[in-house]
Amino acid sequence: MTTGVLYIVPTPVGNLGDMTPRAISVLKAVSLILCEDTRTSTPLLKHFGITTQVSSHHKFNEHQSVDGVIALLQRGEDVALISDAGTPGISDPGFMLSRECRRNGIIVQTLPGATAFVPALVNSGLPCDRFIFEGFLPTKKGRKTRLAEISESPVSIIIYESPLRLVKTLEQLAEYCGGEREASVSREISKIYESTIRGTLDELVKHYTLNTPKGEIVVIVAPAVKNNTAGSHRNKYKDVPANNGRKSNQM
Interval 30-84: pLDDT, tens = 999 999 999 999 999 999 999 999 999 987 788 888 999 999 999 999 999 999 9
At 146, is the pLDDT very low, low, confident or very high (cuts 50, 70, 90)? very high
Q: What is the mean pLDDT of residues 138-149?
A: 94
Higher pLDDT, residue 92 or 126? 126
Euclidean distance between CA atoms 225 and 147, whole angstroms: 16
Which pLDDT does position 2 carry in this prediction?
87
Residue 109 has pLDDT above 60, yes or no: yes
More confident residue, 230 or 128: 128
Q: How far apart (Å, rounded) are the C-alpha atoms in residues 176 and 210?
A: 22
pLDDT digits (tens, 9 = 90+) for 174-224: 999 999 999 999 999 999 999 999 999 999 999 999 999 999 999 999 999
Write down the mean pLDDT value for the chain.
90
Sheet holding 238-241, edge to edge: 131-136, 156-161, 217-221, 182-187, 195-200, 247-250, 238-241
pLDDT value of position 1: 67
Q: What's the pLDDT score for residue 93?
A: 83
Domains of the chain: 5-110 (3.40.1010.10), 117-250 (3.30.950.10)
pLDDT at res. 135: 95
What does the pLDDT look like over 226-247, one tens digit per residue? Answer: 654 444 333 333 333 344 444 4
